[in-house]
Amino acid sequence: MKKFIASLAVVVAMLGYSNEVSAQDFNPQMMVQRQMERMSTELTLSKDQEKKMEPLLLARMEKMMAFREAGMERDAMQAEMKKINDAQLEQLKAILTPEQLEKYKTMQSQMRQGGGGPRN
């Protein structure tokens, strides 16, 4: 049950990343941009890291949107998003420093617990 709730929280956090995004103006590119801004600030990313991170976040968002548009069932979508999130974490290990990676994991944990921090 905890895994289900954690997975649900991740999906909900990513879908509702910003209070400003409503169902009718859901813009994946804007969501990726907000994520990049937050990660860049909180993880103190270099320009090179930013260049490597943005395509990962965009690909993840595109996959999530494809799942939503296909009308994928919640449980199936959560399972697929978990796979994507795990794969993304592996890719981040090659981009982020160990300190940044730990901070990223802390950020993700806070998002799952509903303490995503300030939103613009």
List of the chain residues with pLDDT < 70 = 1-26, 114-120
Give Cα 6 distance to the centre of its chain: 13
pLDDT at 64: 86
pLDDT at 23: 47
Burial (CB count within 10 angstroms: exposed 0-12, middle 13-18, buried 19+), residue 72? middle
Q: pTM of the prediction?
A: 0.64
pLDDT at 46: 95
pLDDT at 67: 87
- Cα-based angle 63, 47, 90 (whole degrees, multiple of 5): 45
